[in-house]
Amino acid sequence: MQRGTDPIHLRNGGTSVVLSLDYAPLPAIVHWGPDLGEVGADELAAMALAAIPQRVSGGIDVPAALTLIPQESSGWLGTPGLAGHRDGRDFSTRLATVDVQTDAATATITARDDAARLEATIELEVTASGLFRQRITLRNLADAPYSVVALTPFFPVPAIADQLLDTTGRHLRERSPQRHEFTIGTHLRESRRGRPGADASLVIAAGRRGFGFERGMVHAVHTAWSGNHRLLAERLPTGESSLGAGELLAPGEVVLEQDESYATPWAIGSWGDGLTELSSRFHRELRARPQHPRRPRPVTLNTWEAVYFDHDREKIDELARRAASVGVERFVLDDGWFLGRRDDTAGLGDWWVDETVWPDGLGPLIETVTSLGMEFGLWVEPEMVNLDSELARNHPDWILRGRDDLPVPARQQYVVDLANPDAWQYLLERLDALLAEYDIAYLKWDHNRDLLEAGSAHTGRARVHENVQALYRLLAELKRRHPGLEIESCASGGARVDLGILEHTDRIWTSDTLDPIERLQIQRYTGILVPAEMMGAHLTSPEVHTTGRTVQLDTSAGVALFGHFGVEWDLTTLDDAGLARVREWVDLHKRHRALIHTGTLVHGDTRDDTTDVRGVVAGDAASALFTFTQVTTSVTHPPGRFTLPGLDPDRRYAVRIAAGRVDHGPGQSTLPWAEQPIVLTGRQLGTAGLQAPVLFPGQLVLLELTTA
Q: Is 309 helix (H, G, I), strand (E, B) or coil?
A: coil
Instruction: Please give the distance of CA 449 from its chain centroid, rounded to a whole number.
Output: 18
DSSP 297: P
State the Cα–Cα distance between residues 516 and 654, nearest whole angstrom.
Answer: 28
State the Cα–Cα distance between residues 653 and 646, nearest whole angstrom.
Answer: 13
Q: What angle do CA 304, 309, 310 make, to 5 degrees?
A: 105
State the Cα–Cα distance between residues 272 and 14, nearest whole angstrom.
Answer: 10
State the Cα–Cα distance between residues 218 and 241, nearest whole angstrom.
Answer: 13
State the Cα–Cα distance between residues 232 and 336, nearest whole angstrom.
Answer: 41
State the Cα–Cα distance between residues 459 and 399, nearest whole angstrom.
Answer: 13
Torsion of CA 127, 537, 221, 11, to 10 degrees: 20
Q: Is 629 helix (H, G, I), strand (E, B) or coil?
A: strand
Concatenated DSSP letters of 132-190: EEEEEEEEE-SSS-EEEEEE--EEE--TT--EEEEEEEETTEEEEEEEEE--SEEEEEE
**Strands 535-540 vs 564-568: parallel, antiparallel or unpaired:** parallel
State the Cα–Cα distance between residues 411 and 380, nearest whole angstrom.
Answer: 15
Q: Of 422, 84, 100, give the one whose Cα is nearest residue 261.
A: 84
Please state, as a whole number, how many other Cβ atoms lie within 10 Å of the Cβ of residue 165. 23
What is the number of alpha carbons within 13 Å of residue 68 lying toward its C-beta?
A: 31
State the Cα–Cα distance between residues 513 and 166, nearest whole angstrom.
Answer: 21
State the Cα–Cα distance between residues 305 and 334, nearest whole angstrom.
Answer: 9
Evaluate whether 320 touches 360 at the Cβ level (below 8 Å). no
Q: Is 600 helix (H, G, I), strand (E, B) or coil?
A: strand
Please state, as a whole number, how many other Cβ atoms lie within 10 Å of the Cβ of residue 86. 18
Rg (CA), the chain: 27
Q: Of 421, 152, 147, give the one whose Cα is nearest residue 257.
A: 147
Residue 210 buriedness (CB in 10 A; 0-12 / 13-18 / 19+): exposed
What sign has the CA pseudo-torsion 592, 377, 540, 500? negative
Query: Which residues are registered as beta bridge partners of 338?
Result: 353
512 is catalytic: yes
**Marked catalytic residue, from 113, 166, 335, 446:** 446
**Marked catalytic residue, from 113, 334, 335, 512:** 512
335 is catalytic: no
Query: Which residues are registered as beta bridge partners of 151?
Result: 82
Q: Kindly list the catalytic residues.
A: 446, 512
